Chains A and B, each alone.
Chain A
Amino acid sequence: DTGVSQDPRHKITKRGQNVTFRCDPISEHNRLYWYRQTLGQGPEFLTYFQNEAQLEKSRLLSDRFSAERPKGSFSTLEIQRTEQGDSAMYLCASSSQGKGTDTQYFGPGTRLTVL
């Protein structure tokens, strides 16, 4: 399968613990995005990488959140000191820099439950 992959698919943790999610984009895609989706809502943008550079961060991304894409390939999203409000589906998407428009393709997501 050459689509976007994410790991783990599900994560249950206790409040206060740290969690880390991984995203592997489509191999030739240089852009990578993280979104968060809560029940009944559309995905909300968190952050965006072009190659290894993090070019934009949403105000939703508090100091407890950090994302990296060290070699311009896979990316990790870490949440420190998790809170119950962090429970959501975390979606990763990737796209290829094109002429004017590029389509984002989504991975299966990591569903986080904070107890």
Chain B
Amino acid sequence: EDKVVQSPLSLVVHEGDTVTLNCSYEVTNFRSLLWYKQEKKAPTFLFMLTSSGIEKKSGRLSSILDKKELSSILNITATQTGDSAIYLCAEDSTSGTYKYIFGTGTRLKVLA
């Protein structure tokens, strides 16, 4: 069965630090990998990575897909307290379904 594993489970850093969050996946027919940010509400979309788009960047956030290692990283540079959230990784397969399989998330806390 498809599976997504995220590490670390939680992380505490100080403002200005750079963090790297990890996501590994096991999927039969990979279609895309997604990153979401979740504060005290719904997950908000950050990035979608596919076979044709393995690197994305938006401001201080960037993400890379490693198809050989079946993994992805999310980098946040110059962290701010507003980056404190749970970061969720999800995979989407082509196995005839459109559901996402989510990891348990990485809880990031940025201290002032």
Query: Which A positions have Cβ atoms within 8 angstroms of B?
Result: 4, 31, 33, 40-45, 48, 56, 58, 91, 95, 100-109
**Contact (Cβ within 8 A) B31 A44:** no
13 A-B pairs besides A42-B88, A106-B42 with CB distance below 8 A are A40-B104, A41-B105, A43-B88, A56-B98, A58-B99, A91-B42, A95-B98, A101-B32, A103-B34, A103-B48, A105-B45, A108-B41, A109-B42
Residue of A nearest to B102 (CB): A42
**Contact (Cβ within 8 A) A45 B99:** yes
Tell me, rounded to whole Å, the shortest Cβ–Cβ distance linking A14 to chain B: 25
**Contact (Cβ within 8 A) B99 A48:** yes
Contact with A along B94-107 (1 / 0, CB 8 A): 00011111111100
Q: Which residues of B contact A100 (CB under 8 A)?
A: 31, 50
Tell me, rounded to whole Å, the shortest Cβ–Cβ distance linking B34 to chain A: 7
Q: Which residues of B contact A41 (CB under 8 A)?
A: 104-105
